[in-house]
């Protein structure tokens, strides 16, 4: 599992991830600033007062369960949906009022394949190059370069609709990057792809980021979250945590216990009922228990094992990984914890 993007100085900033409302970070040059960005559809609050900032060159991973509000946030940032309240800016330009001026500054790869399936690879690239008003000579150069970078050279005359999922996604990214923007939004770019293409796409994103492109990406895959320089968790429209993967994992330390109880399935149900237990999940035969104070639990169990039908076989402390972090945040366990600590 790669951690290269999360290494280094990035782990040391914005440590107070629970105080994510503090957007005016002291860091230089925020590329994206969101302030209480909110979107409601009727009575449904899709995005609830999201505030955050993002610096140039970051790979920002936007994590959250389906329906948490990731796509709506991206669409607002792209000027495709009007914020109900709050505001946001990209490179100092308002994401709604100045959306026409921002458009040439970013690329957007939507969740669903959204190119013209009856046009060929080449025609799609040329079309978007034209739409971004590239001059003819530059267009030709960019199209050639993209075909090569995206490994699409041999498929340039295929209809976009006939490409396999991986190549479709590469083409989408190619089209979004045809005008060489400094910022790229990707909405679940690897969902449904095979591991080889996932790897290929992330290697590519890393390369773009090395070249200075800022990347805002949503994902469900936790190995991908590890590759981000920063991740944010969105739950029911609210940004509940933001920080480097390493830092987020550290925040779960001393809260994760792997217990070996048989039989596992009824044990999971029973353990979840205990107050102070945020979650219990089955992972490779063992139960991963996330609790406010596992020490206290162990102590009480040492005195008295309360479950008659369940056999205790022991426990181990485990290092949290992003999977644990994702589950913890996306299932809202942390809300309770934050409420107790007086956040929000």
Partner 1 sequence: MNFLASWNAILTIAYKEFVHVWRDRRVLLMLIFVPPFFTFVFGHAFEVTSIRDLPAMLYDADHSPDSEQFVEKLKAKDTFVWKQWQGDPNGQIDLLRAGVQAAIVIPKDWGKGLHDGDPRPLRVVLDGTDSNTAPAIQGALQQVLADYQMITRDNVIENLPEEVVDLGRNLPKDIRAQFGSIITPWELKSEILYNPKLMFIDFVVPGIVGLILQLLTVTLIASTITREREVGTLSQLLVTPLRQFEIVIGKVLPYLLISLLLIGSTLAVGYFHFGVKFHKPVMLSVVCFLFLLCSLGLGLLISAFATTQTQAIQFSVFLLLPMMLLSGAFQPLALLPGVVQAFSELFPLTHFCRAFRHVNMYKADFAVIRGDLIALAVGAVVTCVAAGLLLQTNED
Please identify, using beta-carbon distances, which residue of 183 and 287 lies nearer to partner 1: 183
Distances (CA, A) of 217 to 78, 244, 269, 311, 343: 13, 14, 35, 44, 27
Cα-to-chain-centroid distance, residue 205: 14
* 301 near partner 1, rule: CB under 8 A: no
The window from 17-25, 80-88, 208-216, 335-343 that contacts partner 1 (CB under 8 A) reads 80-88
Residue 114 engages partner 1 in binding (rule: CB under 8 A): yes
Nearer to partner 1, 95 or 239 (CB): 95
Nearest to partner 1 of 113, 312 (CB atom): 113
Stretch that binds partner 1, among 13-21, 107-115, 143-151, 334-342 (CB under 8 A): 107-115
Q: Applying CB under 8 A, does 131 fall inside the site for partner 1?
A: yes
Establish if 221 lies at the interface with partner 1 (CB under 8 A).
Answer: no
SS3 sequence, the chain?
CCCHHHCHHHHHCCCCCCCCCCCCCCCCCEEEEEEEEEEEECCEEEEEEEEEEEECCCEEEEECCCCCCHHHHHHHHCCCCCCCEEEEEECCEECCCCHHHHHHHEEEECCCCCCCCCCEHHHHHHHHHHHCCCCHHHHHHHHHHHHHHCCCHHHCCCEHHHCCHHHHHHHHHHHHCCCCCCEEEEECCCCCCCHHHHHHHHHHHHHHHHCCCEEEEEECCHHHHHCCCEEEEEECCEEEEEECHHHHHHCCCCCEEEEEEECHHHHHHHHHCCCCEEEEEEECCEEEEEECCHHHHHHHHHHCCCCCCCEEEEEEECCCCHHHHHHHHHCCHHHHHHHHHCCC
Task: Report how far residue 38's alpha carbon sits from residue 49's, in angstroms, rounded to the nearest whole number.
Answer: 5
Q: Which stretch binds partner 1 (CB under 8 A): 23-31, 115-123, 145-153, 288-296?
A: 115-123
Tell me which residues in 156-195 interact with partner 1 (CB under 8 A). Answer: 175
216 binds partner 1 (CB under 8 A): no
Residue 127 binds partner 1, judged by CB under 8 A: yes
Establish if 108 lies at the interface with partner 1 (CB under 8 A): yes
**Closer to partner 1 at the Cβ: 79 or 279?**
79
Q: Which one of residues 133, 253, 283, 295 is an interface residue with partner 1 (CB under 8 A)?
A: 133
**Cβ of residue 56: shortest distance to partner 1, in angstroms?**
20
Q: Is 85 in the site for partner 1 (CB under 8 A)?
A: no
Q: Is 304 in the site for partner 1 (CB under 8 A)?
A: no
The verdict on 75 binding partner 1 (CB under 8 A) reads yes
Residue 81 found at the interface with partner 1 (CB under 8 A): yes
Stretch that binds partner 1, among 72-80, 141-149, 194-202, 215-223 (CB under 8 A): 72-80
Size of residue set near partner 1 by CB under 8 A: 31
Binding residues for partner 1 (CB under 8 A): 41, 72, 75, 78-82, 100, 103-104, 106-108, 110, 112-119, 123, 127-128, 130-133, 175
């Amino acid at each position: 599992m790669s951690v290269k993007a999360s290494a280094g100085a990035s782990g040391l900033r914005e440590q107070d991830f629970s105080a994510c409302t503090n957007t005016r970070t002291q860091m230089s040059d925020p590329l994206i600033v969101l302030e209480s960005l909110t979107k409601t559809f009727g009575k449904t609050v899709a995005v609830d007062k999201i505030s955050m900032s993002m610096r140039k060159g970051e790979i920002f991973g936007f994590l959250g369960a389906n329906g948490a509000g990731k796509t709506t946030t991206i669409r607002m940032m792209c000027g495709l949906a009007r914020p109900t309240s709050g505001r946001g800016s990209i490179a100092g330009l308002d994401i709604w009022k100045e959306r026409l001026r921002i458009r040439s500054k970013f690329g957007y790869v939507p969740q669903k394949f959204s190119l013209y399936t009856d046009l060929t690879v080449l025609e799609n690239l040329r079309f978007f190059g034209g739409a971004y008003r590239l001059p003819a000579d530059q267009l030709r150069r960019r199209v050639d370069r993209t075909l090569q970078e995206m490994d699409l050279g041999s498929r340039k005359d295929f209809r976009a609709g006939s490409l396999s999922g991986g190549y479709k996604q590469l083409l989408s990214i190619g089209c979004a990057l045809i005008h060489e923007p400094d910022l790229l939004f990707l909405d679940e770019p690897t969902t449904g792809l095979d591991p080889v293409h996932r790897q290929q796409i992330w290697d590519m994103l890393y390369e773009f980021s090395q070249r200075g492109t800022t990347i805002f990406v949503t994902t469900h895959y936790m190995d991908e979250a590890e590759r981000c320089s920063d991740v944010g968790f969105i739950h029911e429209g609210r940004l509940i945590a933001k920080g480097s993967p390493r830092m987020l994992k550290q925040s779960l330390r001393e809260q994760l216990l792997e217990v070996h109880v048989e039989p596992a399935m009824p044990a999971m149900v029973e353990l979840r009922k205990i107050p102070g237990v945020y979650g219990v999940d089955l992972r490779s035969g063992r139960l991963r228990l996330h609790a406010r104070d596992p020490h206290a639990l162990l102590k009480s169990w040492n005195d008295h094992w309360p479950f008659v039908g369940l056999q205790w076989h022991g426990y181990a402390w485990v290092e949290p990984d992003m999977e644990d972090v994702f589950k913890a945040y996306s299932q809202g366990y942390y809300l309770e914890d934050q409420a107790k600590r007086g956040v929000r």
